Amino acid sequence: MDFKQAEKTATQFQKGRVPDEEAAPAVQYLYDYWQAHPFPNDKEYRHNARYLVGRAQTYTREHSGQYPAVEAVISGIERVIAEQNAEKNRITEEQQREQHQARVAENRAKLGERLLVTTTPTIEDRIIAEVLGVVSGSCVMSRNAFSDFGSDVSSSFGGRLLGIEKAVRSSQVVALEELEREAHGLGADAVIGIQLSVQTVADKAQLVMLMGTAVLLDDRGSATAP
């Protein structure tokens, strides 16, 4: 059997003019031809082969049970296609996993570099591809860190405690560095939604804590965290 003969037989089969046993090998031949000639080789023949196999599939479904030989061929083709699609999906998932791992490894290698950090849930012109997890950084200030309160008060009423402000700012820097180290460890590109809290600990110290969400970024656009 050659292509033209298989093409003619499959076409006549859909008009009910070819017996089941004769049509089955023609449909199988066309499918094999379709698979053996990847695009764009023999583009016209390949398109015709794919079209006729699809039409045979539709025809046998419309006349279920009447063409067992062709139905058996179609069932075999469907199994092969399902297996091929599953393999493609597996390969795609493995490639995505490998790309993710390479990205994370690259980001971890940049441990000394600063991350993008923001209090907002988005970063302009960047899309969030994956959320890696919540990260935090903290610093505890003892009362001794508050240098000379009295001399730092600018006035008795509504004055600023500059020593405390300086200590709090220094603690925020330490907490931010700790947060960035944790995010780097996850392989993040950025930390979004950062929140600051300052709490008194046992009336003897202040706990400064930063929390945020470590994420991987994509350059395709802007979006909120998934």
**What CATH number corresponds to the domain at position 163?**
3.30.110.70
**Are the C-beta atoms of 198 and 168 separated by less than 8 Å?**
yes
Residues 198 and 123 in one domain: yes
Per the structure, the complete domain to which residue 66 belongs is given by 3-89
Token pair, residue 171, equals 């603690």
On whether residue 127 sits in a domain, the answer given is yes
On whether residue 69 sits in a domain, the answer given is yes
Q: pLDDT in tens for each of the 226 residues of the chain?
A: 888 888 899 888 888 888 889 999 999 988 888 888 766 566 777 788 888 888 888 888 888 888 899 999 999 988 888 888 888 877 777 777 777 667 667 766 665 567 889 999 988 888 888 899 999 999 887 655 554 444 444 444 455 556 667 777 788 888 888 898 899 888 888 999 999 988 887 777 778 899 999 998 886 554 454 4
On whether residue 34 sits in a domain, the answer given is yes
Give the CB-side neighbour count of residue 118, counting CA atoms within 13 A. Answer: 13
Give the whole-angstrom CA distance, residue 219 versus residue 127. Answer: 6
- 20-36 and 43-62 helices cross at what angle (nearest 10)? 140
**Are the C-beta atoms of 128 and 215 separated by less than 8 Å?**
yes
Residues 137 and 68 in one domain: no
Residues 156 and 71 in one domain: no
**Are the C-beta atoms of 201 and 117 separated by less than 8 Å?**
no
Give the whole-angstrom CA distance, residue 73 versus residue 131. Answer: 46
pTM over 0.85: no
On whether residue 60 sits in a domain, the answer given is yes
On whether residue 106 sits in a domain, the answer given is no
Q: Identify the domain boundary among 23, 58, 89.
A: 89
Domain count, the chain: 2
